[in-house]
Structure 1
Amino acid sequence: MTSKNMGFTSKKHDARYRLSEMPDEILVHILSFLPILDAVRTVSIRRFGNLWTMMSSLDFKDYEFFKAGNWPYGIIDFDIQIHCFTSFVRNVLMLHKGISVDKFVLHLNDIYMYDDDDKSLITYINSLIRFAIDRQVKELEIQIDDTNELCDTNEVYDSDLPQCIFTSQFLVMLKLAHCEIECLNTVQMGSLRKLSLTYVKVGNEMFEKIISGCPSLQELVMRHVHVLDELRITAPNIEKLDLEYFSRCVLDCPNLKILNIHLISSTESILQVVNIPSVCKVHIQSTFQIDEIVSKICTVEVVKFSDGAFSAIKLQGVKYSTNYVEAFTYRVTA
């Protein structure tokens, strides 16, 4: 054996030695950065063994699972692979040994590929969500359809989310996309600090119940929310608000500091600011009601405009007083 080969072998041996000496906690943390399928496959590595069953982050995205590189010859039979995916998820959860889960992600790209029986699919999805809630999950992300070019981004999966989500005292972040929220008896999420709703169907009464049931909420994202015909946000602790909205919007957020707003319609969008005295940064992506919006944010230090909004200002010939211009810093963003 040449000295060069001996050096290579020595380095390889040192790497294995260092791996074998690492504590289990460090190795489990390393596994959390891998796609869930690759993390499970480390069972074939002696040092890792069944450590994947202790992972505190479980991320199930079917489009990651269906990647051609994961399967022989890159050929995917979706009828077979969908069954493989659902079985894989069930087995992972059945073998999971962690007492708690920090993060649980479920993305189903095209629900209509899964099962002709909607009731069966709803039961399957809700069972996964209940697993996460039972494990005192802190971050929960549910997307029942993917917002890509191949799907209708306006579609909402017509299924009630389980009540257990909205009574969790452990949830810190909740992200929902393409879901429906209705018939909630109680909302008690005392620890929730971030809520994101995208293409979610929820009515006025139910939304107000959610907001009032989240006293610690600090960040709210609302994009393309259906059914809601008036967005009334009265939350004392919210510090960041991201709105893409198309109807009446009433804001009563005394501690709000950052506001991102994109109004979609020039005729229906009506922004009513009741109380936002602490706002210091605003990002305007709307080409509608720009002067109305700006006139209601008197304490702002920085105003950002998207290209479209900035162009609209120039086209409309909006003029501001000298004092007003001095009170704001305009930054154009892509």
Structure 2
Amino acid sequence: MPHTSKAKKALKSCGEDRISDLPDDILHHVLGFLQADEAVRTCLLARRWRYLWKFMRRLRINDAGRRGKSTTDVFLNKFMSYLLLLREPGSTLDEVEIEYDNLIDDRHFNYDCPWVDIWIRHALSCQAQVLTVKLHKEAHFYVCLDAPLVSQHLRRLEIYEVKLESNFLNFSSCSALEELKIKNCNLKTNRILSQSLKHLSITGSAFLSKGRICISVPNLLSLQLINYRTATPLLESMPSLETAVIRSDYNISDYCHNGVAGECCGICADCSGNDDHNGGCVLLRGLSHSRNLALIQANPRTFTFKRDLRWCPTFSKLKNLLLNDWCVQPDLRGLVSMLEHSPILENLTLQLCKQKKTISALEVEENPGLMEKPAAISGYLEIIRVKCEEDSVSRGGGELWADDGCTVP
């Protein structure tokens, strides 16, 4: 007689389906881990499961992990139309994730996809608190989102690889929105606006407006602006800001073409601030209330930080500061200016690249007084870290922000 485990004997003897005996709320939660079409298929398991999918609180609309399978918008539109139509009226959604890796648009070059917008509106009408939209681009085409969001329940929004128009980036009607993450997107707008936002991260994205995009988020606590392309955005006042990381690697607009030896000239119209902003700080004034600040710039011809120093504000709350080569090239005046305007600074980290003797080093040798501590520099300054790296781009920030949960990827 073949060996049978005790568990199998017990299951055979009782004939019970213990999973189906779980409360509805637990089964709705479990279904939320499945992709939407897989969750609907559970209606075939047993009579008990026939309508459970109508009440699940987490909706995952994606093709993640389905290698070699491409999904047309015709199939998606039809499936999602039935799914949304047949869901239980009035049932709420906690989280909605819309993600497609292998999306094929049957209209080829027309990437205005109204059905994606319909899904988003449905999610918000069901009081979704977390919304993720990740539509991987085909070549240089992006799905475009333009209609404004309206929700009193949305708390976190993540957007990847889409084109965002002006109306979509006005979050005045999302009074509960606290966290916004934008990655690898094209932003075609003049303003990002939110009164409720507390955490903002924009990574690897391009600002496509004619002038500078204005970011107006007065209640922000943390900001990450990393690897942005085109013109640096204008930051309005953020009096509650605690931690900010600004890293410019690929900026192609705030760039000096007149400098010698790869440096910003400091005197052309752009470098001196005579651009569409008509002078004044672009970044630093908006960051002046931060307690922890990282300013990292890869290209020495990018002039944003140095230009802002002409109108450098006082960083009255700043305790931790991270800078890289831009503040010591071609001389130390950038570093000195930052120190002079940080009266309670406690920790300074300099991330410098290993290279031949720089102009700044030569200037220090010729003028040792540059290394003397000016009287205006913080008396609280206790720790200065200098890190030298082989790579031409400093990637740091993690150690400095270890206690604040804000790192530079």
Is the TM value for this pair above 0.5?
Answer: yes
Task: Give the counterpart of 2:87 among 82, 96, 106.
Answer: 96
- Residues 320 and 237 from structure 1, CA distance in 2 versus in 1: closer, same or farther, beyond 3 angstroms? farther
d(CA) in 2 for partners of 1:11, 1:305: 64
- 2:208 is equivalent to residue 227 of structure 1: yes
- 2:292 is equivalent to residue 281 of structure 1: yes
User: Which deviates more, 293-302 or 109-118?
Assistant: 293-302
User: Which deviates more, 319-328 or 252-261?
Assistant: 319-328
Match of residue 19 from structure 1: 19
d(CA) in 2 for partners of 1:277, 1:239: 13
**Larger of the two Rg values belongs to structure:** 2
- Residues 290 and 22 from structure 1, CA distance in 2 versus in 1: closer, same or farther, beyond 3 angstroms? same
**Residue 82 of structure 1: how far off its partner (Å):** 5.3
d(CA) in 2 for partners of 1:169, 1:203: 23
**Residue 54 of structure 1: how far off its partner (Å):** 0.9
Match of residue 130 from structure 1: 121
TM-score of the pair, normalised by structure 1: 0.73
Query: Partner letter of residue 33 of structure 2?
Result: F
Query: Partner letter of residue 326 of structure 1?
Result: E
d(CA) in 2 for partners of 1:13, 1:279: 66
Query: Partner letter of residue 285 of structure 2?
Result: V
- 2:163 is equivalent to residue 179 of structure 1: yes
Match of residue 254 from structure 2: 268
**Residue 114 of structure 1: how far off its partner (Å):** 3.3
TM-score of the pair, normalised by structure 2: 0.61
Q: Secondary structure at the match of 1:19?
A: coil
- Residues 186 and 238 from structure 1, CA distance in 2 versus in 1: closer, same or farther, beyond 3 angstroms? closer
CA contact (8 A) 2:29 2:56 kept: yes
CA contact (8 A) 1:221 1:243 kept: yes
**Residue 237 of structure 1: how far off its partner (Å):** 1.1
**Residue 25 of structure 1: how far off its partner (Å):** 0.2
- Residues 115 and 314 from structure 1, CA distance in 2 versus in 1: closer, same or farther, beyond 3 angstroms? same
- 2:229 is equivalent to residue 218 of structure 1: no
CA contact (8 A) 1:197 1:225 kept: no
**Residue 312 of structure 1: how far off its partner (Å):** 4.3
Query: Partner letter of residue 208 of structure 2?
Result: V
CA contact (8 A) 2:39 2:53 kept: yes
d(CA) in 1 for partners of 2:291, 2:171: 34
- Residues 320 and 300 from structure 1, CA distance in 2 versus in 1: closer, same or farther, beyond 3 angstroms? farther
d(CA) in 1 for partners of 2:30, 2:386: 43
CA contact (8 A) 1:304 1:330 kept: no
Query: Partner letter of residue 239 of structure 1?
Result: L
- Residues 23 and 329 from structure 1, CA distance in 2 versus in 1: closer, same or farther, beyond 3 angstroms? farther
User: Which deviates more, 22-31 or 110-119?
Assistant: 110-119
- 2:123 is equivalent to residue 105 of structure 1: no
Write the deviation string for residues 60-106 of structure 1: whole angstroms up to 9, x where unpaired.
12445x445xxxxxxx5x47x65443332222222221522222222
d(CA) in 1 for partners of 2:130, 2:11: 40
Match of residue 151 from structure 2: 168
d(CA) in 1 for partners of 2:351, 2:286: 29
d(CA) in 1 for partners of 2:316, 2:91: 49
- 2:234 is equivalent to residue 243 of structure 1: no
Match of residue 31 from structure 2: 31
CA contact (8 A) 1:302 1:328 kept: no
Write the deviation string for residues 196-224 of structure 1: whole angstroms up to 9, x where unpaired.
333133222xx2xx41xx21110112231
Task: Give the counterpart of 2:76 among 82, 85, 92.
Answer: 85
| Count of residues in Structure 1 that have an aligned counterpart in Structure 2 | 309
Unmatched runs of 5 consecutive residues or more in structure 1: 69-75
Q: Secondary structure at the match of 1:90?
A: helix
**Residue 28 of structure 1: how far off its partner (Å):** 0.9
Q: Secondary structure at the match of 2:19?
A: helix
